[in-house]
Amino acid sequence: MTASSSSESGSAAGTHKLWGGRFAGGPSPLLDAINRSIGTDFRLWPHDVRLSQAWAAGLGHAGVLTQDESLALQQGLDRVAQRIADGAQPVATDEDIHTMIDRLLHEEAGTVASKLHTGRSRNDQVATASRLWTMDACQKLDAAIRELQQALLTQAETLTDAILPAYTHLQRAQPVSGTHWLLSHFWPLDRDRTRLANAARGTATLPLGSGAIAGSAFPIPRTLIKDTLGFAAISPNSIDATGDRDFVAETLFACTMTAVHCSRIAEDLIIYGSSEFGFVKFGDGFSTGSSMMPQKRNPDVFELARGSGARVLGDLVSLLGTIKGLPSGYSKDLQDDKRALFNAVDLLFLVLPAMAGAISELRFNRDRMRNAVSSAMMATDLADYLVKKGATFREAHGAVGSLVRQAEEAGIEMTDIPLEAFSKAHALFGDDARDALGAEASLAARDIDGGTGPNAVARQLEQARASLTRSA
Residue numbers annotated as active site: 169, 290
| Helices and strands in the chain: count of H runs, count of E runs | 19, 6
- Quick one: which of 43, 41, 71, 46 has its CA closest to 56? 71
Give the Å distances, CA to CA, from 329 to 117, 127, 213, 243, 343.
Answer: 20, 12, 6, 5, 25
Task: Report strand pairing: 205-206 vs 233-234.
Answer: parallel
Q: Is the C-alpha dihedral spanning 356, 363, 156, 374 positive or negative? A: negative
- Residue 132 region by backbone torsions, left for phi larger than 0, else alpha for psi between -120 and 50, else beta: alpha
Q: Name the helix (H) or strand (E) containing 280.
A: strand 280-281
Q: Is the C-alpha dihedral spanning 404, 410, 414, 420 positive or negative? A: negative
Identify the DSSP state of 299: -
Task: Report strand pairing: 163-168 vs 171-177.
Answer: antiparallel
**Strand, coil or helix: 219:** coil
For 372-375, which contacts have Cβ atoms below 8 Å and span 24 or more sequence positions?
Answer: 372/164, 372/165, 372/172, 372/277, 372/279, 373/163, 373/164, 373/165, 373/172, 373/175, 373/439, 374/172, 374/413, 375/407, 375/413, 375/414, 375/415, 375/437
